[in-house]
Amino acid sequence: MASYDTDFSAAPHRVTLDGRDRLTVSGVEDVDRFDESEIVMNTAEGSLVVSGENLHIDKLSLDGGELHVDGRIDSLSYEDAPAARGGLLARLLGG
């Protein structure tokens, strides 16, 4: 009989900023909203807001919870209030 490990623990949360034009975030659970000036995402450590200019999501890994952002990054901040569920990932996965 085959045995399967069903423990899906959240990816560790890590933020890596290369200069002001390349951001990598791991532990991303969902993307609530995004445009060229702001990206709001839910991470394992809370809601993260990325602000800047000409922002675009270069890569979004649904399996690994990793997000790559290009553009001019002006600020990164965490919101205290939990964001509403049902963002981009939920819509992509039909949730």
Specify the pTM: 0.73
Question: How far is residue 26 CA from its own chain's centroid?
Answer: 7
How do residues 16-56 score in pLDDT, each as one tens digit?
Answer: 999 999 999 999 999 999 999 999 999 888 899 999 999 99
- What is the percent of the chain where pLDDT is above 90? 56
Of 26, 21, 25, the residue nearest 10 (C-alpha):
26
pLDDT at residue 73 tops 90: yes
pLDDT at 80: 64
Question: Above pLDDT 70, what percent of the chain?
Answer: 72
Q: Map out the domains of the chain with their CATH numbers.
A: 14-80 (2.60.40.2000)
Least confidently predicted of 23-32, 67-76, 84-93? 84-93
Angle, CA 31 vertex, CA 30 and CA 35 arms, to 5°: 175
